[in-house]
Homo-oligomer: A and B are copies of this chain.
Amino acid sequence: MHLTRRHALAGAAAFAAAPLLPALPAKAAAPAAGKQNASFYRYKVGDAEVTVVSDGASTFPLADSFVTNAKKEDVNAALEKVFRPRDSVTIYFGPLVINTGGKLIVVDTGNGPAAFANSKGAAGQFASNLAAAGVDAKAVDTVVISHFHGDHVNGLLTADNQPAFPNAEVMVPAVEWKFWMDDGEMSRASGDRMTGLFKNNRRVFEAGLNKKVTPYEWGKEVVPGMLAVETIGHTPGHTSYVLSSGSDKVFIQSDVTNNPDLFVRNPGWQAFFDQDGPQAETTRRKVYDMLAVEKMRVQGFHYPFPGLANIEKDGAGYRWIPTPWNPSI
Protein backbone atom coordinates (compact mmCIF):
# COMPACT_ATOMS: atom_id res chain seq x y z
CA MET A 1 0.00 0.00 0.00
CA HIS A 2 1.70 3.11 -1.16
CA LEU A 3 -0.40 6.22 -1.38
CA THR A 4 0.83 9.55 -2.54
CA ARG A 5 -0.66 12.98 -2.76
CA ARG A 6 -0.60 12.57 -6.53
CA HIS A 7 -3.10 9.72 -6.32
CA ALA A 8 -5.48 11.74 -4.22
CA LEU A 9 -5.26 14.68 -6.60
CA ALA A 10 -5.80 12.45 -9.61
CA GLY A 11 -8.96 11.22 -7.93
CA ALA A 12 -10.19 14.71 -7.19
CA ALA A 13 -9.48 15.87 -10.72
CA ALA A 14 -11.31 12.89 -12.19
CA PHE A 15 -14.25 13.61 -9.97
CA ALA A 16 -14.48 17.24 -11.03
CA ALA A 17 -14.21 16.19 -14.64
CA ALA A 18 -16.74 13.36 -14.38
CA PRO A 19 -19.67 15.28 -15.87
CA LEU A 20 -17.64 16.04 -18.98
CA LEU A 21 -15.93 12.68 -19.35
CA PRO A 22 -15.95 11.32 -22.86
CA ALA A 23 -17.63 7.93 -23.01
CA LEU A 24 -15.16 5.09 -22.68
CA PRO A 25 -14.90 2.91 -25.78
CA ALA A 26 -17.19 -0.09 -25.97
CA LYS A 27 -15.35 -3.33 -25.28
CA ALA A 28 -14.80 -5.91 -27.97
CA ALA A 29 -16.17 -9.06 -26.39
CA ALA A 30 -19.91 -8.70 -25.83
CA PRO A 31 -20.84 -10.63 -22.68
CA ALA A 32 -23.61 -13.19 -22.81
CA ALA A 33 -26.91 -11.49 -22.05
CA GLY A 34 -28.88 -12.74 -19.07
CA LYS A 35 -32.63 -13.14 -18.95
CA GLN A 36 -34.76 -10.50 -17.30
CA ASN A 37 -36.36 -11.51 -14.01
CA ALA A 38 -39.97 -12.67 -14.21
CA SER A 39 -42.06 -9.58 -13.47
CA PHE A 40 -44.24 -10.56 -10.54
CA TYR A 41 -44.35 -8.97 -7.10
CA ARG A 42 -46.27 -9.74 -3.93
CA TYR A 43 -47.62 -7.53 -1.15
CA LYS A 44 -50.18 -7.74 1.58
CA VAL A 45 -53.39 -5.81 2.12
CA GLY A 46 -54.30 -6.87 5.62
CA ASP A 47 -54.75 -10.64 5.37
CA ALA A 48 -55.13 -10.54 1.60
CA GLU A 49 -52.16 -11.13 -0.65
CA VAL A 50 -51.87 -9.26 -3.95
CA THR A 51 -49.55 -10.54 -6.67
CA VAL A 52 -48.92 -8.08 -9.46
CA VAL A 53 -48.25 -10.20 -12.55
CA SER A 54 -46.96 -8.07 -15.40
CA ASP A 55 -48.25 -8.58 -18.92
CA GLY A 56 -45.18 -6.73 -20.22
CA ALA A 57 -45.13 -3.41 -22.03
CA SER A 58 -45.64 -1.89 -25.47
CA THR A 59 -43.53 0.96 -26.83
CA PHE A 60 -44.69 2.91 -29.85
CA PRO A 61 -44.07 6.26 -31.54
CA LEU A 62 -45.85 9.21 -29.95
CA ALA A 63 -48.77 10.05 -32.23
CA ASP A 64 -49.93 13.65 -32.62
CA SER A 65 -53.33 12.62 -31.30
CA PHE A 66 -52.14 10.42 -28.41
CA VAL A 67 -53.31 13.13 -26.01
CA THR A 68 -56.34 14.60 -27.75
CA ASN A 69 -56.29 17.94 -25.94
CA ALA A 70 -52.53 18.63 -25.65
CA LYS A 71 -49.85 19.49 -28.17
CA LYS A 72 -47.30 16.83 -29.03
CA GLU A 73 -44.57 19.22 -27.90
CA ASP A 74 -46.13 19.45 -24.44
CA VAL A 75 -46.31 15.66 -24.23
CA ASN A 76 -42.65 15.46 -25.23
CA ALA A 77 -41.82 17.99 -22.52
CA ALA A 78 -43.62 15.81 -19.97
CA LEU A 79 -41.62 12.78 -21.14
CA GLU A 80 -38.33 14.66 -20.84
CA LYS A 81 -39.30 15.88 -17.39
CA VAL A 82 -39.27 12.27 -16.19
CA PHE A 83 -36.13 11.39 -18.18
CA ARG A 84 -37.94 9.34 -20.80
CA PRO A 85 -37.11 9.56 -24.52
CA ARG A 86 -39.03 12.02 -26.70
CA ASP A 87 -41.44 10.85 -29.40
CA SER A 88 -41.99 7.48 -27.78
CA VAL A 89 -44.58 6.18 -25.34
CA THR A 90 -44.34 2.99 -23.30
CA ILE A 91 -47.52 1.49 -21.93
CA TYR A 92 -47.22 -1.05 -19.12
CA PHE A 93 -49.81 -3.71 -18.31
CA GLY A 94 -50.33 -5.08 -14.80
CA PRO A 95 -53.00 -7.71 -14.17
CA LEU A 96 -53.38 -8.91 -10.58
CA VAL A 97 -53.85 -12.13 -8.67
CA ILE A 98 -55.54 -11.65 -5.31
CA ASN A 99 -55.55 -14.37 -2.69
CA THR A 100 -58.27 -13.52 -0.20
CA GLY A 101 -60.78 -15.37 1.89
CA GLY A 102 -59.41 -18.66 0.59
CA LYS A 103 -60.20 -17.70 -3.01
CA LEU A 104 -57.86 -17.01 -5.91
CA ILE A 105 -58.99 -14.04 -8.00
CA VAL A 106 -57.53 -12.65 -11.21
CA VAL A 107 -58.22 -9.01 -12.03
CA ASP A 108 -57.90 -8.34 -15.78
CA THR A 109 -55.99 -10.67 -18.06
CA GLY A 110 -53.60 -8.75 -20.31
CA ASN A 111 -53.16 -8.72 -24.08
CA GLY A 112 -53.29 -12.47 -24.61
CA PRO A 113 -51.22 -15.00 -26.54
CA ALA A 114 -51.52 -13.40 -29.99
CA ALA A 115 -50.00 -10.17 -28.65
CA PHE A 116 -47.16 -12.19 -27.13
CA ALA A 117 -46.35 -13.68 -30.54
CA ASN A 118 -46.80 -10.41 -32.44
CA SER A 119 -44.65 -8.37 -30.03
CA LYS A 120 -41.96 -11.06 -29.76
CA GLY A 121 -42.66 -11.38 -26.07
CA ALA A 122 -42.70 -7.68 -25.12
CA ALA A 123 -46.42 -7.80 -24.27
CA GLY A 124 -48.73 -10.70 -23.52
CA GLN A 125 -46.43 -11.96 -20.74
CA PHE A 126 -49.23 -12.58 -18.24
CA ALA A 127 -49.40 -16.35 -18.75
CA SER A 128 -45.64 -16.87 -18.44
CA ASN A 129 -45.26 -14.53 -15.46
CA LEU A 130 -48.26 -16.22 -13.81
CA ALA A 131 -46.48 -19.56 -14.12
CA ALA A 132 -43.26 -18.01 -12.76
CA ALA A 133 -45.26 -16.76 -9.76
CA GLY A 134 -46.38 -20.34 -9.12
CA VAL A 135 -50.04 -19.69 -9.89
CA ASP A 136 -51.92 -22.46 -11.72
CA ALA A 137 -54.53 -20.97 -14.06
CA LYS A 138 -56.75 -23.97 -13.31
CA ALA A 139 -56.79 -23.00 -9.61
CA VAL A 140 -58.24 -19.54 -10.24
CA ASP A 141 -61.74 -19.25 -8.78
CA THR A 142 -62.81 -15.92 -10.22
CA VAL A 143 -61.70 -13.59 -13.00
CA VAL A 144 -62.85 -9.99 -12.54
CA ILE A 145 -62.79 -7.78 -15.65
CA SER A 146 -62.65 -4.00 -15.20
CA HIS A 147 -63.61 -3.04 -18.75
CA PHE A 148 -63.70 -4.46 -22.28
CA HIS A 149 -60.48 -3.28 -23.92
CA GLY A 150 -58.21 -5.90 -25.51
CA ASP A 151 -55.37 -5.46 -23.00
CA HIS A 152 -57.78 -6.45 -20.22
CA VAL A 153 -59.90 -9.18 -21.85
CA ASN A 154 -57.76 -10.92 -24.48
CA GLY A 155 -55.97 -13.04 -21.89
CA LEU A 156 -59.32 -14.70 -21.09
CA LEU A 157 -58.58 -17.10 -23.97
CA THR A 158 -55.66 -19.36 -24.79
CA ALA A 159 -53.92 -19.39 -28.18
CA ASP A 160 -56.44 -21.96 -29.41
CA ASN A 161 -59.38 -19.88 -28.17
CA GLN A 162 -60.19 -21.97 -25.12
CA PRO A 163 -60.90 -20.41 -21.69
CA ALA A 164 -57.53 -19.60 -20.11
CA PHE A 165 -59.04 -19.99 -16.61
CA PRO A 166 -61.20 -23.06 -17.19
CA ASN A 167 -62.53 -23.35 -13.63
CA ALA A 168 -63.15 -19.65 -12.98
CA GLU A 169 -66.34 -17.63 -12.90
CA VAL A 170 -65.82 -14.59 -15.14
CA MET A 171 -67.30 -11.43 -13.65
CA VAL A 172 -67.92 -8.37 -15.80
CA PRO A 173 -69.30 -4.90 -15.05
CA ALA A 174 -73.03 -5.03 -15.84
CA VAL A 175 -72.98 -1.65 -17.62
CA GLU A 176 -69.93 -2.61 -19.67
CA TRP A 177 -71.49 -5.91 -20.67
CA LYS A 178 -74.71 -4.26 -21.77
CA PHE A 179 -72.89 -1.66 -23.87
CA TRP A 180 -70.56 -3.96 -25.81
CA MET A 181 -73.10 -6.75 -26.30
CA ASP A 182 -75.81 -4.37 -27.56
CA ASP A 183 -76.33 -4.82 -31.32
CA GLY A 184 -77.67 -1.29 -31.65
CA GLU A 185 -74.52 0.18 -30.04
CA MET A 186 -72.39 -2.02 -32.29
CA SER A 187 -74.24 -0.87 -35.42
CA ARG A 188 -73.73 2.77 -34.43
CA ALA A 189 -69.97 2.33 -33.73
CA SER A 190 -67.94 4.81 -35.77
CA GLY A 191 -64.36 4.37 -36.87
CA ASP A 192 -62.10 1.35 -37.16
CA ARG A 193 -61.07 1.40 -33.51
CA MET A 194 -64.58 1.21 -32.02
CA THR A 195 -65.72 -1.29 -34.65
CA GLY A 196 -62.69 -3.42 -33.90
CA LEU A 197 -63.37 -3.30 -30.16
CA PHE A 198 -66.95 -4.50 -30.66
CA LYS A 199 -65.74 -7.33 -32.91
CA ASN A 200 -63.03 -8.33 -30.42
CA ASN A 201 -65.49 -8.44 -27.54
CA ARG A 202 -67.86 -10.65 -29.53
CA ARG A 203 -64.88 -12.89 -30.36
CA VAL A 204 -63.83 -13.22 -26.71
CA PHE A 205 -67.18 -13.35 -24.96
CA GLU A 206 -69.43 -15.00 -27.54
CA ALA A 207 -67.16 -17.30 -29.58
CA GLY A 208 -64.67 -17.91 -26.78
CA LEU A 209 -66.66 -17.95 -23.55
CA ASN A 210 -70.12 -18.66 -24.98
CA LYS A 211 -71.42 -15.71 -22.90
CA LYS A 212 -70.70 -17.58 -19.65
CA VAL A 213 -70.13 -14.49 -17.52
CA THR A 214 -71.63 -13.06 -14.34
CA PRO A 215 -72.39 -9.33 -14.50
CA TYR A 216 -71.67 -7.37 -11.32
CA GLU A 217 -72.87 -4.02 -10.11
CA TRP A 218 -71.19 -0.95 -8.66
CA GLY A 219 -71.43 -0.25 -4.97
CA LYS A 220 -71.30 -3.93 -4.07
CA GLU A 221 -68.58 -6.44 -3.36
CA VAL A 222 -67.66 -8.19 -6.58
CA VAL A 223 -65.80 -10.76 -4.50
CA PRO A 224 -65.53 -10.78 -0.70
CA GLY A 225 -63.47 -7.77 0.43
CA MET A 226 -63.41 -6.11 -2.99
CA LEU A 227 -65.89 -3.31 -3.64
CA ALA A 228 -66.71 -2.41 -7.26
CA VAL A 229 -66.58 1.35 -7.82
CA GLU A 230 -68.00 3.24 -10.82
CA THR A 231 -65.19 5.12 -12.59
CA ILE A 232 -66.68 5.72 -16.02
CA GLY A 233 -65.34 7.74 -18.94
CA HIS A 234 -62.54 5.53 -20.21
CA THR A 235 -65.39 3.19 -21.19
CA PRO A 236 -69.12 3.34 -20.36
CA GLY A 237 -68.81 0.64 -17.69
CA HIS A 238 -65.23 1.19 -16.54
CA THR A 239 -64.78 -0.05 -12.98
CA SER A 240 -62.25 0.35 -10.17
CA TYR A 241 -62.11 -1.48 -6.83
CA VAL A 242 -61.38 -0.92 -3.17
CA LEU A 243 -59.71 -4.03 -1.78
CA SER A 244 -59.97 -4.05 2.03
CA SER A 245 -58.84 -6.34 4.79
CA GLY A 246 -58.94 -5.28 8.41
CA SER A 247 -57.98 -1.60 8.47
CA ASP A 248 -55.82 -1.90 5.35
CA LYS A 249 -56.92 -1.08 1.81
CA VAL A 250 -55.74 -0.31 -1.69
CA PHE A 251 -57.54 1.39 -4.57
CA ILE A 252 -57.27 -0.76 -7.70
CA GLN A 253 -57.80 1.96 -10.26
CA SER A 254 -57.79 -0.01 -13.53
CA ASP A 255 -57.50 2.69 -16.27
CA VAL A 256 -58.45 5.86 -14.41
CA THR A 257 -55.09 6.99 -15.77
CA ASN A 258 -52.88 5.44 -18.38
CA ASN A 259 -49.09 6.00 -18.00
CA PRO A 260 -48.86 8.02 -14.77
CA ASP A 261 -45.92 10.14 -15.91
CA LEU A 262 -48.31 11.69 -18.41
CA PHE A 263 -51.79 11.46 -16.94
CA VAL A 264 -51.22 11.58 -13.16
CA ARG A 265 -48.97 14.59 -13.57
CA ASN A 266 -51.44 16.10 -16.07
CA PRO A 267 -54.91 14.93 -15.02
CA GLY A 268 -56.51 17.29 -17.56
CA TRP A 269 -54.97 15.41 -20.47
CA GLN A 270 -57.35 13.08 -22.28
CA ALA A 271 -55.93 10.01 -24.03
CA PHE A 272 -57.32 9.06 -27.43
CA PHE A 273 -58.49 5.73 -26.04
CA ASP A 274 -60.72 7.40 -23.44
CA GLN A 275 -64.13 6.82 -25.01
CA ASP A 276 -65.58 9.88 -23.26
CA GLY A 277 -62.57 12.12 -22.62
CA PRO A 278 -64.26 14.84 -20.51
CA GLN A 279 -66.04 12.23 -18.34
CA ALA A 280 -62.76 10.33 -17.92
CA GLU A 281 -61.08 13.56 -16.78
CA THR A 282 -63.86 14.29 -14.27
CA THR A 283 -63.53 10.78 -12.86
CA ARG A 284 -59.72 11.05 -12.77
CA ARG A 285 -59.71 14.29 -10.82
CA LYS A 286 -62.29 12.97 -8.35
CA VAL A 287 -60.34 9.74 -7.79
CA TYR A 288 -56.95 11.45 -7.45
CA ASP A 289 -58.25 14.10 -5.08
CA MET A 290 -59.59 11.26 -2.96
CA LEU A 291 -56.33 9.26 -3.14
CA ALA A 292 -54.28 12.32 -2.13
CA VAL A 293 -56.56 13.31 0.75
CA GLU A 294 -57.02 9.78 2.05
CA LYS A 295 -53.34 8.87 1.52
CA MET A 296 -54.72 5.65 0.05
CA ARG A 297 -52.40 3.39 -1.91
CA VAL A 298 -53.27 2.96 -5.56
CA GLN A 299 -52.56 -0.02 -7.81
CA GLY A 300 -52.44 1.11 -11.45
CA PHE A 301 -52.87 -1.29 -14.35
CA HIS A 302 -50.82 1.00 -16.61
CA TYR A 303 -48.28 2.10 -13.98
CA PRO A 304 -44.74 0.76 -14.46
CA PHE A 305 -44.35 -2.60 -12.70
CA PRO A 306 -45.11 -3.28 -9.93
CA GLY A 307 -47.51 -0.33 -10.06
CA LEU A 308 -48.19 0.31 -6.37
CA ALA A 309 -47.95 3.94 -5.26
CA ASN A 310 -49.25 6.82 -3.19
CA ILE A 311 -50.42 10.11 -4.63
CA GLU A 312 -49.51 13.67 -3.65
CA LYS A 313 -50.87 16.94 -5.01
CA ASP A 314 -48.33 18.86 -7.09
CA GLY A 315 -49.52 22.18 -8.44
CA ALA A 316 -52.36 21.60 -10.89
CA GLY A 317 -51.60 17.87 -11.05
CA TYR A 318 -50.34 15.03 -8.93
CA ARG A 319 -47.21 12.98 -8.42
CA TRP A 320 -47.09 9.25 -7.86
CA ILE A 321 -44.69 8.05 -5.19
CA PRO A 322 -43.92 4.38 -5.82
CA THR A 323 -44.13 2.18 -2.74
CA PRO A 324 -40.64 0.79 -2.08
CA TRP A 325 -40.08 -2.80 -3.20
CA ASN A 326 -40.19 -5.17 -0.26
CA PRO A 327 -37.61 -7.96 -0.79
CA SER A 328 -39.48 -10.20 1.67
CA ILE A 329 -43.17 -10.79 2.38
Contacts and interface: CB of A to CB of B under 8 A. Distances in A.
A13 to B, nearest CB: 6
Contacts of A297: 83
Contacts of A41: 36-37
A199 interface: no
B230 A12 contact: yes
Contact of A327 (B33, B39, B242): B39
A15 to B, nearest CB: 5
Contacts of A306: 325
A33 B294 contact: no
A324 B24 contact: no
Given A48-B31, A227-B24, A327 B56 contact: yes
A57 interface: yes
A309 to B, nearest CB: 9
A3 B101 contact: no
A39 B306 CA distance: 12
A219 interface: yes
A327 B135 CA distance: 19
Interface in A171-230: 174-175, 177-178, 181, 215, 217-221, 224-225, 227-230
Given A7-B218, A15-B230, A24-B225, A323 B83 contact: yes
Given A27-B101, A31-B102, 7 more contacts: A3-B174, A7-B175, A29-B101, A31-B100, A34-B133, A36-B41, A81-B312
18 contacts: A1-B215, A7-B174, A7-B218, A10-B217, A14-B227, A14-B229, A18-B229, A21-B242, A23-B46, A23-B244, A24-B227, A24-B245, A27-B101, A34-B42, A34-B49, A34-B329, A54-B327, A84-B324
